[in-house]
């Protein structure tokens, strides 16, 4: 009673939209190096459900965690923050 599930939300860039209703989003992860205390940037690619096929390569999207939709898809596009410059 009163248990509210808070879903994770992250922002990333679409790097591929070749699949039907699924896009590949690249996330930038900033971590502090344990010894040198310098911030290190790494990248991670995840598959995200795009129900309306609206996202295109280069778009910045906000994604939200969801139930498993397929073998690799556990996120869905919440909204497109910024469209990529085309042409």
Q: What is the CATH class of 9-79? A: mainly beta
Which pLDDT does position 87 carry in this prediction?
Answer: 66
Q: Domain limits of the chain?
A: 9-79
Strands 9-16 and 39-49: unpaired
Question: Tens digit of pLDDT for each residue in 44-83?
Answer: 999 999 999 999 999 999 999 999 999 999 999 999 999 9
Average pLDDT, the chain: 94
User: Smallest Cα–Cα separation from 24: which of 38, 14, 39, 11?
Assistant: 14
Which pLDDT does position 85 carry in this prediction?
Answer: 86
Which pLDDT does position 23 carry in this prediction?
Answer: 97
Which pLDDT does position 11 carry in this prediction?
Answer: 97
| Cβ atoms within 10 Å, residue 61 | 22
């Amino acid at each position: 009673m009163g248990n509210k599930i808070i879903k994770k939300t992250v922002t990333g860039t679409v790097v591929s939209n070749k699949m039907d209703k699924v896009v590949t989003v690249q996330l930038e992860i900033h971590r502090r190096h344990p010894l040198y205390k310098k911030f290190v940037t790494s990248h991670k690619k995840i598959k995200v459900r795009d129900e309306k096929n609206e996202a295109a390569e280069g778009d910045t999207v906000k994604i939200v965690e969801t139930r498993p939709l397929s073998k690799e898809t556990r996120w869905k596009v919440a909204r497109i923050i910024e469209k990529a410059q085309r042409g």
